[in-house]
Protein backbone atom coordinates (compact mmCIF):
# COMPACT_ATOMS: atom_id res chain seq x y z
CA UNK A 1 0.00 0.00 0.00
CA UNK A 2 1.40 3.41 -0.90
CA UNK A 3 2.05 6.21 1.57
CA UNK A 4 -0.87 8.34 0.35
CA UNK A 5 -3.31 5.51 1.06
CA UNK A 6 -1.85 4.90 4.52
CA UNK A 7 -2.02 8.60 5.36
CA UNK A 8 -5.72 8.63 4.44
CA UNK A 9 -6.44 5.73 6.80
CA UNK A 10 -4.60 7.41 9.65
CA UNK A 11 -6.21 10.81 9.11
CA UNK A 12 -9.87 9.93 9.76
CA UNK A 13 -11.03 9.55 13.37
CA UNK A 14 -13.00 6.46 14.36
CA UNK A 15 -16.32 8.27 14.68
CA UNK A 16 -16.07 9.72 11.17
CA UNK A 17 -15.13 6.31 9.72
CA UNK A 18 -18.21 4.77 11.33
CA UNK A 19 -20.40 7.56 9.98
CA UNK A 20 -19.18 6.99 6.41
CA UNK A 21 -19.96 3.26 6.62
CA UNK A 22 -23.43 3.94 8.01
CA UNK A 23 -24.12 6.45 5.24
CA UNK A 24 -23.33 3.83 2.58
CA UNK A 25 -25.53 1.29 4.34
CA UNK A 26 -28.44 3.72 4.33
CA UNK A 27 -27.87 4.19 0.60
CA UNK A 28 -28.33 0.48 -0.08
CA UNK A 29 -24.77 -0.86 0.14
CA UNK A 30 -24.51 -4.17 1.98
CA UNK A 31 -21.71 -4.19 4.57
CA UNK A 32 -22.42 -7.26 6.71
CA UNK A 33 -19.36 -6.88 8.97
CA UNK A 34 -17.86 -3.43 9.42
CA UNK A 35 -14.90 -4.74 11.42
CA UNK A 36 -11.65 -3.83 9.62
CA UNK A 37 -13.56 -2.08 6.82
CA UNK A 38 -12.28 1.38 5.93
CA UNK A 39 -14.05 3.58 3.39
CA UNK A 40 -12.57 6.96 2.52
CA UNK A 41 -14.72 10.08 2.38
CA UNK A 42 -14.28 10.47 -1.39
CA UNK A 43 -15.27 6.89 -2.26
CA UNK A 44 -18.41 6.35 -4.36
CA UNK A 45 -20.41 3.09 -4.02
CA UNK A 46 -23.67 2.37 -5.84
CA UNK A 47 -26.61 0.65 -4.11
CA UNK A 48 -26.55 -3.12 -4.38
CA UNK A 49 -22.80 -3.50 -3.98
CA UNK A 50 -21.47 -5.77 -1.23
CA UNK A 51 -18.41 -4.82 0.82
CA UNK A 52 -16.99 -7.72 2.83
CA UNK A 53 -14.68 -7.66 5.83
CA UNK A 54 -11.07 -6.54 5.64
CA UNK A 55 -11.58 -4.06 2.77
CA UNK A 56 -9.87 -0.68 2.48
CA UNK A 57 -11.48 1.58 -0.13
CA UNK A 58 -9.40 4.69 -0.58
CA UNK A 59 -8.89 7.83 -2.64
CA UNK A 60 -11.45 8.46 -5.37
CA UNK A 61 -12.42 4.82 -5.78
CA UNK A 62 -15.74 4.19 -7.55
CA UNK A 63 -17.72 0.95 -7.22
CA UNK A 64 -20.79 0.26 -9.34
CA UNK A 65 -23.89 -1.78 -8.49
CA UNK A 66 -23.90 -5.56 -7.94
CA UNK A 67 -20.15 -5.73 -7.23
CA UNK A 68 -18.80 -7.97 -4.49
CA UNK A 69 -15.68 -6.44 -3.00
CA UNK A 70 -13.61 -8.54 -0.64
CA UNK A 71 -12.79 -10.00 1.63
CA UNK A 72 -9.34 -8.53 2.13
CA UNK A 73 -9.36 -6.08 -0.79
CA UNK A 74 -7.53 -2.75 -1.06
CA UNK A 75 -8.60 -0.26 -3.73
CA UNK A 76 -6.97 3.14 -4.24
CA UNK A 77 -8.18 5.50 -6.99
CA UNK A 78 -9.71 2.50 -8.76
CA UNK A 79 -12.98 2.28 -10.68
CA UNK A 80 -14.87 -1.03 -10.64
CA UNK A 81 -17.79 -1.48 -13.04
CA UNK A 82 -21.00 -3.35 -12.25
CA UNK A 83 -21.19 -7.06 -11.51
CA UNK A 84 -17.48 -7.52 -10.78
CA UNK A 85 -16.08 -9.66 -7.97
CA UNK A 86 -12.74 -8.82 -6.31
CA UNK A 87 -11.44 -11.36 -3.79
CA UNK A 88 -8.21 -10.50 -1.95
CA UNK A 89 -7.19 -7.94 -4.58
CA UNK A 90 -4.99 -4.87 -4.33
CA UNK A 91 -5.55 -2.30 -7.08
CA UNK A 92 -4.02 1.15 -7.42
CA UNK A 93 -4.90 3.93 -9.89
CA UNK A 94 -6.50 1.53 -12.38
CA UNK A 95 -9.87 0.54 -13.80
CA UNK A 96 -11.76 -2.77 -13.85
CA UNK A 97 -14.66 -3.42 -16.22
CA UNK A 98 -18.01 -5.18 -15.90
CA UNK A 99 -18.56 -8.77 -14.79
CA UNK A 100 -14.92 -9.50 -14.04
CA UNK A 101 -13.86 -12.30 -11.70
CA UNK A 102 -10.59 -11.37 -10.04
CA UNK A 103 -8.65 -13.06 -7.25
CA UNK A 104 -7.62 -14.31 -4.90
CA UNK A 105 -4.22 -12.67 -4.39
CA UNK A 106 -4.11 -10.39 -7.43
CA UNK A 107 -2.09 -7.18 -7.65
CA UNK A 108 -3.21 -4.53 -10.17
CA UNK A 109 -0.62 -1.79 -10.33
CA UNK A 110 -1.03 1.80 -11.59
CA UNK A 111 -1.96 2.49 -15.18
CA UNK A 112 -3.82 -0.77 -15.76
CA UNK A 113 -7.17 -1.15 -17.54
CA UNK A 114 -8.94 -4.48 -17.14
CA UNK A 115 -11.82 -4.70 -19.60
CA UNK A 116 -15.20 -6.48 -19.27
CA UNK A 117 -15.54 -10.18 -18.36
CA UNK A 118 -11.85 -10.71 -17.62
CA UNK A 119 -10.66 -13.44 -15.27
CA UNK A 120 -7.49 -12.84 -13.26
CA UNK A 121 -6.77 -15.78 -10.97
CA UNK A 122 -4.50 -16.49 -8.04
CA UNK A 123 -1.07 -14.84 -7.87
CA UNK A 124 -1.42 -12.68 -10.98
CA UNK A 125 0.19 -9.25 -11.25
CA UNK A 126 -0.78 -6.65 -13.86
CA UNK A 127 1.19 -3.43 -14.28
CA UNK A 128 0.60 -0.52 -16.66
CA UNK A 129 -1.26 -2.81 -19.04
CA UNK A 130 -4.56 -3.20 -20.84
CA UNK A 131 -6.29 -6.59 -20.62
CA UNK A 132 -8.94 -7.05 -23.32
CA UNK A 133 -12.47 -8.36 -22.96
CA UNK A 134 -13.02 -11.98 -21.90
CA UNK A 135 -9.30 -12.65 -21.53
CA UNK A 136 -8.20 -15.19 -18.92
CA UNK A 137 -4.98 -14.99 -16.90
CA UNK A 138 -5.61 -17.77 -14.43
CA UNK A 139 -2.55 -18.14 -12.23
CA UNK A 140 1.10 -17.34 -11.44
CA UNK A 141 1.61 -14.81 -14.24
CA UNK A 142 3.06 -11.32 -14.62
CA UNK A 143 1.70 -8.98 -17.30
CA UNK A 144 3.63 -5.71 -17.33
CA UNK A 145 3.74 -2.86 -19.87
CA UNK A 146 1.52 -4.85 -22.22
CA UNK A 147 -1.45 -4.44 -24.54
CA UNK A 148 -3.44 -7.67 -24.51
CA UNK A 149 -6.39 -8.27 -26.83
CA UNK A 150 -9.73 -9.95 -26.21
CA UNK A 151 -10.37 -13.67 -25.66
CA UNK A 152 -6.69 -14.33 -24.93
CA UNK A 153 -5.64 -17.24 -22.72
CA UNK A 154 -2.47 -17.11 -20.61
CA UNK A 155 -1.29 -20.44 -19.22
CA UNK A 156 0.35 -20.87 -15.84
CA UNK A 157 3.70 -19.23 -15.13
CA UNK A 158 3.89 -16.74 -18.01
CA UNK A 159 5.99 -13.58 -17.86
CA UNK A 160 6.16 -10.48 -20.01
CA UNK A 161 9.86 -9.65 -19.78
CA UNK A 162 9.65 -5.87 -19.92
CA UNK A 163 12.82 -4.50 -18.25
CA UNK A 164 16.44 -4.61 -19.42
CA UNK A 165 17.81 -2.97 -16.29
CA UNK A 166 17.88 0.40 -18.05
CA UNK A 167 14.75 0.59 -20.21
CA UNK A 168 11.25 -0.83 -20.26
CA UNK A 169 9.51 -2.08 -23.41
CA UNK A 170 5.96 -3.11 -24.27
CA UNK A 171 4.48 -6.42 -25.33
CA UNK A 172 1.47 -6.70 -27.64
CA UNK A 173 -0.76 -9.77 -27.74
CA UNK A 174 -3.51 -9.95 -30.38
CA UNK A 175 -7.08 -11.19 -30.05
CA UNK A 176 -7.72 -14.91 -29.42
CA UNK A 177 -4.03 -15.65 -28.85
CA UNK A 178 -2.96 -18.62 -26.69
CA UNK A 179 0.10 -18.10 -24.52
CA UNK A 180 1.28 -21.53 -23.39
CA UNK A 181 2.39 -22.34 -19.85
CA UNK A 182 5.80 -21.00 -18.80
CA UNK A 183 6.15 -18.70 -21.82
CA UNK A 184 8.47 -15.70 -21.57
CA UNK A 185 7.54 -12.85 -23.91
CA UNK A 186 10.70 -10.76 -24.20
CA UNK A 187 9.66 -7.20 -25.05
CA UNK A 188 9.47 -5.51 -27.43
CA UNK A 189 7.58 -8.35 -29.06
CA UNK A 190 4.19 -8.93 -30.71
CA UNK A 191 1.97 -12.00 -30.87
CA UNK A 192 -0.57 -11.72 -33.70
CA UNK A 193 -4.27 -12.57 -33.63
CA UNK A 194 -4.80 -16.29 -32.98
CA UNK A 195 -1.04 -16.66 -32.41
CA UNK A 196 -0.01 -19.65 -30.28
CA UNK A 197 3.12 -20.16 -28.19
CA UNK A 198 4.25 -23.62 -27.15
CA UNK A 199 4.68 -24.27 -23.42
CA UNK A 200 8.15 -23.49 -22.12
CA UNK A 201 9.05 -21.08 -24.93
CA UNK A 202 11.07 -17.88 -24.63
CA UNK A 203 9.74 -15.66 -27.40
CA UNK A 204 12.15 -12.99 -28.69
CA UNK A 205 10.73 -12.49 -32.21
CA UNK A 206 7.27 -11.46 -33.34
CA UNK A 207 4.75 -14.28 -33.77
CA UNK A 208 2.60 -13.83 -36.91
CA UNK A 209 -1.16 -14.25 -36.79
CA UNK A 210 -2.28 -17.90 -36.76
CA UNK A 211 1.31 -19.14 -36.24
CA UNK A 212 2.69 -21.55 -33.64
CA UNK A 213 5.94 -20.34 -32.04
CA UNK A 214 8.25 -22.92 -30.44
CA UNK A 215 11.38 -21.59 -28.75
CA UNK A 216 12.93 -24.25 -26.54
CA UNK A 217 15.85 -26.69 -26.68
CA UNK A 218 15.26 -30.25 -27.86
CA UNK A 219 15.07 -32.82 -25.09
CA UNK A 220 17.98 -35.24 -24.78
CA UNK A 221 17.83 -38.27 -22.46
CA UNK A 222 21.14 -39.68 -21.19
CA UNK A 223 20.48 -43.35 -20.40
CA UNK A 224 21.66 -44.62 -16.99
CA UNK A 225 23.17 -41.23 -16.10
CA UNK A 226 21.81 -41.46 -12.54
CA UNK A 227 23.32 -44.91 -12.04
CA UNK A 228 26.75 -43.66 -13.15
CA UNK A 229 26.78 -40.29 -11.39
CA UNK A 230 24.82 -41.26 -8.25
CA UNK A 231 23.70 -37.65 -7.63
CA UNK A 232 21.25 -38.42 -4.81
CA UNK A 233 21.93 -38.92 -1.12
CA UNK A 234 22.15 -42.56 -0.09
CA UNK A 235 23.38 -43.75 -3.52
CA UNK A 236 27.07 -44.00 -2.57
Is 139 a catalytic site residue?
yes
CA distance 190 to 204: 9
CA distance 139 to 226: 34
CA distance 185 to 171: 7
CA distance 173 to 190: 6
* DSSP assignment of 151-184: S-EE-TT-EEE-B-SS-B--EEE-TT-EE-TT-E
Catalytic residue among 107, 139, 151, 176: 139
3-class secondary-structure state, position 134 = coil
List, by residue number, the catalytic residues.
139
Amino acid sequence: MNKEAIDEILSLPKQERAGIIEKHRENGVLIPMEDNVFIGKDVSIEPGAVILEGCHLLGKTEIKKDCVIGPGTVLFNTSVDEGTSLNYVQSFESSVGKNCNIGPFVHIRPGSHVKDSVHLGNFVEVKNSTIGESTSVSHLTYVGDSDVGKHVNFGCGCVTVNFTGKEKFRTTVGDHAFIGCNTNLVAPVKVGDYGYTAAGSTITKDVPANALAIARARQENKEDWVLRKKPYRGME
